[in-house]
């Protein structure tokens, strides 16, 4: 089922931060992403880039191809993450990306490709299948381990977020202007909640089963 989000001419971003009782070492940031009409936005990628990145082990990610669809539609990975593209369909797929963040192609294959693809540059990668025009997926590659996707309620939670100063960013594939990723400086001190309003353009997601 296609989901057509409302269209707005102006980008209006605002953040409302409220302080809770803040633990000294870490906190939890709950972000509500709404559109300009106040409706929750799903699949928005919320991530917070700290001023200083402390190295953390990076877990590999999986984007399945099932029923001639990528799953999930939107993925968010930290820079340097290896992503495998297991094909669960009986047909073969030709996964490609012409996105500047990562250009690659996995020529016709079935099953699990031998090598995962490493996404080592931050940015948005649009995935397609050269065989099946309807297959579409997004990978937001971020330079931080602190990231989350909004659920249907438009809610994303960044947990175990150490106190400190962050740049809070929010991306969505239907952003009215693709380059205008929402950014806000955020000083994390304990748990906090924030509400972000995004202006989206109509975006036709091909039918997903």
Partner 1 sequence: MPFKSLRSRIIFTFLTLILVVQFVGFIAIWFSINKNARVAITEQLGIGEEVLRNVITRSGENLTLSARILATDYGFRQAIATNDYETIKSALDNNGARIDSDINMLYSPAGDREVVSGSIPAYLIDTPILNLIESSQSGGNSFGTAVFNGKPYLLVAVPVKAPLTIAWIITGFEIDDSWAKRIQDVSKLEVSFITKTNDAIAANSSAITSKWNLLSTTMDKRSAQDIVKNIPLQWPQQVTAKNTALTKTMDSEVTIQDSDYSTRYVELLNDDNQVLVAVLQRSISESLAPYLTLQLNLLALTILGALVFIAGSIFTARRITQPLTALVDTAELLEKGDYSDVIRSNSNDEIGHLGRTFDRMREAIGERERKISKLAYWDELTQLPNRAFFTDQLLKFAENYKENNQTFSVLMMDLDRFKHVNDVLGHSAADKLLTGVAYRLKANCKGDNDIVARLGGDEFGIILANTNAALAVEVARRLRSALETPIALNDSFVDLSAGVGIANYPEHTKDIELLLSRAEIAMYAAKNSASGVTVYHSGLDVANEENLSLVSEIRVAVEQNQLSLYVQPKIDFATGKLLAVEALVRWNHPERGLIFPDMFIPFAEQTGHISKISYWMLCESARYAAHWQKQGLDMTLAVNLSARDLIDIELPNKLKEILAEHKLSASSLSLEITESSIMDDPARALDTVERIAKMGIQLSIDDFGTGYSSLAYLKRLPVNELKIDKSFVMNIEHDNDDVTIVKSTIELGHNLGLKVVAEGIENKNVWNILNAMGCDYGQGYFMSKPMHASKLLDWSKQWAQQTILVMAED
Residues that bind partner 1 (CB under 8 A): 96, 98-99, 103, 126-130, 133-136
CB of 70 to partner 1, least distance (A): 10
Decide whether 18 or 134 has the Cβ nearer to partner 1. Answer: 134
Decide whether 14 or 103 has the Cβ nearer to partner 1. Answer: 103
CB of 18 to partner 1, least distance (A): 36
CB of 128 to partner 1, least distance (A): 3
Report how far apart, in Å, the C-alpha atoms of 158 and of each of 1, 11, 21, 155 are. 29, 24, 16, 10
CB of 7 to partner 1, least distance (A): 11
Q: What SS3 string covers 88-130?
A: CCCCCEEEEECCCCCCEEEEEECECCCCCEEECCCEEEEEEEC
Decide whether 1 or 152 has the Cβ nearer to partner 1. Answer: 1
CB of 88 to partner 1, least distance (A): 19
| CB contact set of 64 (below 8 Å; sequence gap of 6+) | 70, 71, 85, 86, 87, 88
Decide whether 104 or 163 has the Cβ nearer to partner 1. Answer: 104
Chain mean position to CA 111: 25
The bridge status of strand 164-171 relative to strand 45-50 is antiparallel
CB of 147 to partner 1, least distance (A): 22
Inter-residue contact 31 to 155 (CB < 8 Å) = yes
Q: What angle do CA 121, 60, 163 make, to 5 degrees?
A: 70
Q: Please report which helix (H) or strand (E) contains residue 82, including its range.
A: strand 81-84
Q: What angle do CA 171, 177, 179 make, to 5 degrees?
A: 60
């Amino acid at each position: 089922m296609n989901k057509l989000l409302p269209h707005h001419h102006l980008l209006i971003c605002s953040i409302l931060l409220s302080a809770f009782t803040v633990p000294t070492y870490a906190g939890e940031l709950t972000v509500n992403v709404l559109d300009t009409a106040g409706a929750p936005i799903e699949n928005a990628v919320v991530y917070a880039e700290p001023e200083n990145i402390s190295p953390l082990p990076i877990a590999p990610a999986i984007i399945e191809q099932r029923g001639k669809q990528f799953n999930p539609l939107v993925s968010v990975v930290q820079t340097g993450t290896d992503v495998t593209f297991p094909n669960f369909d009986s047909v073969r797929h030709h996964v490609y990306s012409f996105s500047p963040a990562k250009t690659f192609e996995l020529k016709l294959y079935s099953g699990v490709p031998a090598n995962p693809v490493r996404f080592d540059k931050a940015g948005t990668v649009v995935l397609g299948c050269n065989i099946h025009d309807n297959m579409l997926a997004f990978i937001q590659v971020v330079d931080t381990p602190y990231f989350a996707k909004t659920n249907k309620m438009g809610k994303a939670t960044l947990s175990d977020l150490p106190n400190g100063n962050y740049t809070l960013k929010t991306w969505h594939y239907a952003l009215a202007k693709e380059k205008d990723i929402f950014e806000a400086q955020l000083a994390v001190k304990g748990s906090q909640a924030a509400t972000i309003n995004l202006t989206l353009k109509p975006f036709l997601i091909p039918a997903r089963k």
